[in-house]
A and B are shown apart, each in its own frame.
Chain A
């Protein structure tokens, strides 16, 4: 059935309920489910346990593993001791790639000394025409070299998506072994799921034409990670 121009596509409240009830009813019949068979309790218990399944053993130097895996997925990495070193490192990167010395950043980074390092920085969400976006991350995953960002009032996801270049500021203390630890960290430190959790593993890419890898399909052509070791007792 199609909705035709000019015709009325009306769906009564009752038919919505009936599709729901019909589908759930068929599932219960097929699974031979009986009331009070304990399925609800089993499901609750499984969810509350947040059990972790077998996975690769990520031990040892998490920072080194993160670095290796991120580079393998074509992110680039610079390492600095202090957050105050970030603007100079970002400026050096932009110059090296002949990129515009003009960027937008998340609120938490606005007070760094951008101007004396030659970068014209604006604190606002990126627009489609912005060329460079600078963000922090929530944490990073050693297993795959992945950045994890959370949406929020001061952490707009568009800034890591629309610009051609994404510069991410990551503290070494934010690196966790696997995605499972990232979720735990989210539960304990934030509590609630933000609207969007974005895992980013290098520049946007496509291999749709003749299986040939090409960077910068829709998102950034370049992801540059500035790794800050300040305040990390492990370093």
Chain B
């Protein structure tokens, strides 16, 4: 996916003015936020379950090499082929080679954010393979040539009428206006692709070390189709997705759909282990699993390691006041919201996504709802510190902080400066004792007023404190 994170501010302004998007984002809050809260309330021992889930993820990461080798051994023993990819380009190369090896003309895909990281569809199309996205949302986006704006509900930014127009134009059938009719039309179009595709490409929500299995959840059933019907199945996932046992998988499945869509369980939880067995009448003859690093090892062993616990439920973005206002496209890459504000700079470079760690009020809604207890605001704050250390902050901010540091270390000068500032601010207050416009602070005062310091001449904190002490004594 094309990286446009450096345009965060411009894009945000556009998105705030987009009426359709604002309506869609309101709905998302209603459904996903309320859904999560209702489903979590049903679990009487939710805190213990959440602790266990965080612990499973943390324990696995602390022994990641051993679990990956265990996974590889068990997957290979059951007939799957495990590939390792350093980066997106290697993933694309491996998939293209497999397509050539098995003479693949058409590939059907279920939703995979890792394949979005790789821009896999472009790579396959470049070697002449037809790629069809089969998740309804992703299919709509593929027709519209747009990137997803949410990791769970990728087409949340589009309204029904846009889909009606798009289908009418692309399918060449009479324009449908009802949502069930639109879904039926997509079902009919995609059914033909499922049965004629040579390769199925999926992601994996988790991979299981104990059995060498890959697991995906879908509601539509396209995940089952993609992993069952074509003669080749390629599962692509990040190295951090491994879990030790089927019991551990059960714990995580208990939390993932609840936090993602407000469901107790997704409609289809599919655990696949190796290719077709002797006697099987369906299932792929060849099963390949690609494990992608793509920047993940950079997070290991340091102060960002907690981020690798992420199970991609999307709860952090659903609850984020910034995401709720600007939507996913403003973030400019695969992963939006708080998790994306950490993953994007870590995967593509802090210098390419400067605004993202700052696109948060650090209100900690995200940290509170994270099912695996990732301290998201702490991690964003650490990235801000790194930005400062690496000189990636805007010059005005760096200079401002340097000037403040200089003054703060010199108490007399600091007292004089603050005294002057308080007097000036007091004088700037209009008759309602509010400052409506602040030099260098236009971003702040354009949305709200700043109260002027009290007292006719304006007093500093130190002066007020001194005055109180004098009165008391």
A pairs with B: yes
* A residues apposed to B, CB below 8 Å: 1-5, 9-11, 16, 19-20, 22-24, 26-33, 39-40, 42-43, 46-47, 50-57, 69, 72-73, 125, 128, 143-144, 146, 151-153, 156-158, 161, 178-180, 183, 193-212, 214, 216-220
B201 on interface, CB distance cutoff 8 Å: no
Of A39, A72, A125, chain B has the most CB atoms within 10 Å of the CB of A39
Taking CB as reference atom, which chain B residue is nearest A200?
Answer: B268
Shortest distance from the beta carbon of A183 to any chain B beta carbon, whole Å:
4
**Contact B92–A2 (Cβ < 8 Å):** yes
Min CB distance A197 to B, Å, is 4
A contact residues around B281 at 8 Å (CB): 125, 153, 156, 158
Q: Knowing A16-B83, A43-B67, A56-B45 touch, does A50 contact B245 (C-beta < 8 A)?
A: yes
The reply to whether B301 and A32 contact each other, CB–CB distance below 8 Å, is yes
Q: Which residues of A contact B183 (CB under 8 A)?
A: 206, 209, 214, 216-217
Inter-subunit contact B136/A1 (CB<8 Å): no
Q: A19-B85, A209-B155 are in contact. Are A9 and B100 (CB under 8 A)?
A: yes
27 contacts between A and B (CB under 8 A): A2-B96, A2-B122, A3-B123, A9-B93, A31-B301, A43-B209, A53-B49, A55-B254, A57-B44, A57-B45, A128-B191, A151-B277, A151-B282, A156-B280, A156-B281, A156-B282, A158-B229, A193-B271, A197-B273, A199-B268, A199-B271, A208-B136, A208-B137, A209-B155, A210-B24, A219-B224, A219-B268
Report whether A27 and B64 are in contact in the complex, using a CB–CB cutoff of 8 Å.
Answer: yes
Cross-interface CB contact of A199 among B43, B187, B269, cutoff 8 Å: B269
A28 to B277: give the CA distance in the assembly, Å: 35
**Residues B280 and A2 in contact, CB atoms below 8 Å apart:** no
Q: Are A205 and B267 in contact (CB under 8 A)?
A: yes
Q: How far is the CB of A194 from chain B (nearest CB, A)?
A: 7
Interface of A is mostly: loop
B247 touches A (CB below 8 Å): yes
Cβ of B48 within 8 Å of any chain A Cβ, yes or no, is yes
**A-binding residues in B (CB < 8 A):** 24, 27-28, 31, 43-45, 48-49, 51-53, 55-56, 59, 62-70, 78, 83-86, 89-90, 92-94, 96-97, 100, 122-123, 126-128, 134-137, 140, 153-156, 158-160, 163, 179-180, 182-184, 187, 190-191, 194-195, 209-211, 213, 219-222, 224-225, 227-229, 239, 244-248, 250-251, 253-254, 261, 264-283, 291, 293, 297, 300-302
- A39: chain B residues within 8 A (beta carbon): 63, 65-66
Q: Which residues of A contact B84 (CB under 8 A)?
A: 16, 19-20, 23
- In Å, the complex CA distance between A203 and B220 comes to 9
Contact across chains for B265 and A5 when beta carbons are under 8 A apart: no
Set A54, A161, A196: member contacting B271, Cβ < 8 A = A196
A residues near B271, Cβ cutoff 8 Å: 193, 196-199
- Kindly provide the distance from the CB of B257 to the nearest chain A CB, expressed in whole angstroms: 9
Contact B160 A209 (CB under 8 A): yes
Residue of A146, A199, A216 with most partner-chain B CB within 10 A: A199
Beyond A53-B49, A214-B180, whether A3 also contacts B126 by CB under 8 A is yes
Contacts of A50 in B (CB 8 A): 245-247
B309 to chain A, nearest CB (A): 15
User: Which of B68, B92, B246, B278 is in CB contact (< 8 Å) with A24?
Assistant: B68
A residues in contact with B136, CB < 8 Å: 206, 208-209, 217
Taking the closest CB of chain B, its distance from the CB of A31, in whole angstroms, is 6
CA distance A31 to B51 in the complex (A): 22
Do B245 and A47 touch across chains, with their CB atoms under 8 A apart?
yes
Once the chains are docked, how many angstroms separate the CA of A198 from the CA of B272? 8
> In the complex, which of the residues A193, A210, A217 contacts B213, with contact meaning CB atoms closer than 8 Å?
A193
Residues of B within 8 A of A206 (CB): 136-137, 183, 219-220
Q: Which of A22, A43, A153, A209 contacts B63 (CB 8 A)?
A: A43
The 7 closest A-B pairs by CB, nearest first: A219-B221, A30-B301, A153-B279, A217-B220, A53-B52, A3-B96, A208-B137
Pairwise interchain contact B221-A161, C-beta atoms closer than 8 A = yes
Contacts of A1 on B, CB cut-off 8 Å?
89, 92-93
| Distance (whole angstroms) from the CB of A208 to the closest CB of chain B | 4
Q: Is the CB of B97 within 8 A of A11?
A: yes
Q: Beyond A19-B86, A128-B195, is A151–B78 a contact (Cβ under 8 Å)?
A: no
Contact between B65 and A28, CB atoms less than 8 A apart: yes
Contact A196 B272 (CB under 8 A): yes
B201 to chain A, nearest CB (A): 15
In the complex, the chain A residue whose C-beta lies closest to that of B137 is A208
CA distance A204 to B67 in the complex (A): 33
Name the CB-closest residue of A to B156.
A211
Cβ of A199 to closest chain B Cβ, rounded Å:
4
The answer to whether B225 and A218 have CB atoms under 8 Å apart is yes
| B225: chain A residues within 8 A (beta carbon) | 161, 218-219
Within the assembled complex, what's the spacing in Å between the Cα atoms of A203 and B51? 32
User: What's the nearest-Cβ distance from chain B to residue A210, in Å?
Assistant: 5
Q: Is A46 touching B244 in the complex (CB atoms < 8 A)?
A: yes
A32 cross-chain contacts in B, Cβ below 8 A: 301
* Chain B contacts for A2, CB-based, 8 A: 89, 92, 96, 122-123, 126
Chain A residues with Cβ below 8 Å from B245 are 46-47, 50-51
* Residue numbers in A under 8 Å from B51 (CB-CB): 54
Q: Check A196/B123 contact, CB under 8 A, given A54-B49, A144-B265, A210-B160.
A: no
Task: Known A11-B97, A218-B225; judge A151-B283 contact (CB<8 A).
Answer: yes
Complex CA–CA separation, A161 to B229 (angstroms): 11
**Pairwise interchain contact B280-A153, C-beta atoms closer than 8 A:** yes
- Residue of A whose beta carbon sits closest to that of B195: A128
- Min CB–CB distance B410 → chain A (angstroms): 42
Select from chain B the residue with minimum beta-carbon distance to A72.
B264
- Smallest CB gap from B186: residue in A: A217
Inter-subunit contact B93/A195 (CB<8 Å):
no
> What residues of B have a CB within 8 angstroms of the CB of A28 in the complex?
65
- Asked if A218 and B247 sit within 8 Å, CB to CB, the answer is no
Chain A residues with CB below 8 A from B248, complex form: 53
How far apart sit A39 and B66, CA to CA, in the bound complex (Å)?
A: 7
CB distance from B301 to the nearest CB of A (A): 3
| Residues of chain A within 8 A of B265, CB atoms compared | 73, 144, 146, 199, 201
A229 to chain B, nearest CB (A): 25
